[in-house]
Amino acid sequence: MINDIKTFITNIKTDYNKNNIESFFKFLNSFPLYNILKKNKMFLAGGAITSKLSRMTINDYDLYFTNEKYIKTLFNDINKFNEHVNDINYKYNKKLKTVNLSYKTDNALTYEYGDMILQFIINKNFINEPNKILNNFDFSINQIGYYFYNNNIYYNNITLNDIEERIIHYNINSINPINSIFRIQKYETKLFNISNIEIFKILLSINNCEFKTYSDVITQLKGSSTEYLNDLTKLLNINKTYDFNNLVNDIEINKNKLNVINKLNNKPLL
């Protein structure tokens, strides 16, 4: 579904959430980087809007590219923005905020703007038109986004109801079903519920994956914030031909290596 902001708000059930999301979009439209995000046709999707609609704290803002050509122009525009801000701070003794790179992976570039965390997703599997980006998402509650370019909201027709009812439906078109298993834990701590049928759908999707190398398996974990898995997978030979038994054996060997390191550093064992 595609709605302008006004129409979208009328589809929200509770007055509290209507007011909450209306103030959120007013904030976005007054955001200092708004014109840059609009010019480069960025798409804000997933967790931030879900959090706002479910009365949770926003941890970060996931921003998606709708065309690969905007990767270069967006970061050039951010550099120009910072130069302009620094110039004003220097000339007028101000303390205006700049946008600063804090972390980089092959999945996303993370920037900080004051206390806001902006994650620019550079994973090529998620560079597409807004509807197609959402169609790659795993959970119904995250299939919602705001397109700066046309000021419209894009969402699955069950998303609003699922957020209101705090239930999760799995999207079988999701491209990272293994990652979804770990994300269940994340949303259960936020009091969302997922049925056994939906979990079964995730397991069937995993069974349907075709792995040729270890790299194909590791790609499934992109976006996961599980530090344990990140450390573990870094020790795997990504070019090694996939074999289930060999992979399980290599995971056990690397787990033991990490446990030795963790013990020396007084960290919890895996």
Taking Cα atoms as reference points, which of 95, 99, 97, 96 lies closest to residue 74? 99
If DSSP codes are grouped into helix, strand and coil, which group holds residue 112?
A: strand
What does the mean pLDDT of the chain come to?
A: 92
What pLDDT is stored for residue 222 in this prediction? 74
**Is the pLDDT reported for residue 160 higher than 60?**
yes
pTM for this one? 0.91
pLDDT tens, position by position, 131-151: 999 999 999 999 999 999 999
What pLDDT is stored for residue 228 in this prediction? 53
What pLDDT is stored for residue 238 in this prediction? 84
> Residue 62: exposed, middle, or buried by beta-carbon count in 10 A (0-12, 13-18, 19+)?
buried
pLDDT tens, position by position, 79-101: 999 999 999 999 999 999 999 99
Across 41-49, average pLDDT: 95
pLDDT tens, position by position, 173-182: 999 999 999 8
Report which DSSP code applies to 223: T
Q: Name which CATH class applies to 2-165.
A: alpha beta
What pLDDT is stored for residue 110 in this prediction? 96
Across 60-70, average pLDDT: 97
pLDDT tens, position by position, 14-44: 888 899 999 999 999 999 999 999 999 999 9
Domain range summary for the chain, segments of one domain joined by +: 2-165, 168-264
Across 186-200, average pLDDT: 95
pLDDT tens, position by position, 201-245: 999 999 999 999 988 988 888 766 445 577 777 788 889 999 999
What pLDDT is stored for residue 231 in this prediction? 74
What pLDDT is stored for residue 224 in this prediction? 62
Residue carrying the six token digits 């349907």: 208
> Residue 82: exposed, middle, or buried by beta-carbon count in 10 A (0-12, 13-18, 19+)?
middle
Q: Looking at 5-128, which runs of residues are DSSP E strands?
A: 42-45, 61-65, 100-104, 108-113, 116-121
Percent of the chain with pLDDT over 90: 76
If DSSP codes are grouped into helix, strand and coil, which group holds residue 242?
A: coil
